[in-house]
Amino acid sequence: MSQAGIVNIPEGGGITAINGINGITTSQVGSTVTIGIGVAGTVTTTNATPTTIISFPLGAVPGVYIMEGVITAFDTTDTAGSGYTWSASCRTTGAAGIEIGTDTGVIFEEVAMNAAGFDLTISGNSLLVQAVGIAATTIDWAAQFTFKFVS
């Protein structure tokens, strides 16, 4: 492992190397290699209940975050998809998070995905990235974001 927390994966390997909450992730399946930098998560929804994709703890040090993220969704029931971008800023007292502002950015949705979406919310001292699915519809979600923090 290097000092940056990067691990080389032999061909055919799986997901490995998460260097803390803001680490570098790599995966390889066959000849496809994926490198992710930042915070990431996945979830599957089968109804319209908000479901957490990422719960990001804001930490014990008071300060301010700015974040930029993307979310992709694939509706396996109707074979449809969507993609979203977002940005947000929040502050932590070290014990409680406070939303400063959010922007939903760009929304790309096929017609079958119009009732789906996502929410960004603060719960306690964590930022939650949540998927909002569609009743009786199976949707696979993936989210990732990067951030800057100053205290």
Q: Would you say residue 30 has pLDDT above 50?
A: yes
Q: Which residue has the higher pLDDT, 114 or 13?
A: 114
CA dihedral 55, 131, 16, 20 (to 10 degrees): -20
pLDDT of residue 83: 97
Give the residue from 37, 39, 42 showing the smallest Cα distance to 6.
37
pLDDT of residue 18: 41
Per-residue confidence at 38, pLDDT binned at 50, 70, 90?
confident
Every domain of the chain and the residues it spans? 1-37, 40-150
Per-residue confidence at 122, pLDDT binned at 50, 70, 90?
very high
Mean per-residue pLDDT over the chain, rounded: 85
Task: State mean pLDDT over 129-142.
Answer: 97
Task: State mean pLDDT over 45-72.
Answer: 95
**C-beta of residue 37 within 8 angstroms of C-beta of residue 18:** no
Q: Would you say residue 63 has pLDDT above 90?
A: yes
Give the residue from 53, 117, 51, 113 showing the smallest Cα distance to 84.
117
For residue 117, the one-letter residue type is G
DSSP state of 26: E
Whole-model pTM over 0.85: no
Rounded CA separation 118/110 (Å): 15
pLDDT of residue 25: 59
pLDDT of 69-89, one tens digit each?
999 999 999 999 999 999 999
Q: In Å, what is the CA distance from 102 to each residue of 43, 46, 117?
A: 22, 26, 15
Its CATH class, for the domain covering 40-150, is mainly beta
Q: What are phi and psi of 50, to 5 degrees?
A: -55, 130
| Burial bucket for residue 117 (CB in 10 Å: 0-12, 13-18, 19+) | buried
pLDDT of residue 128: 96
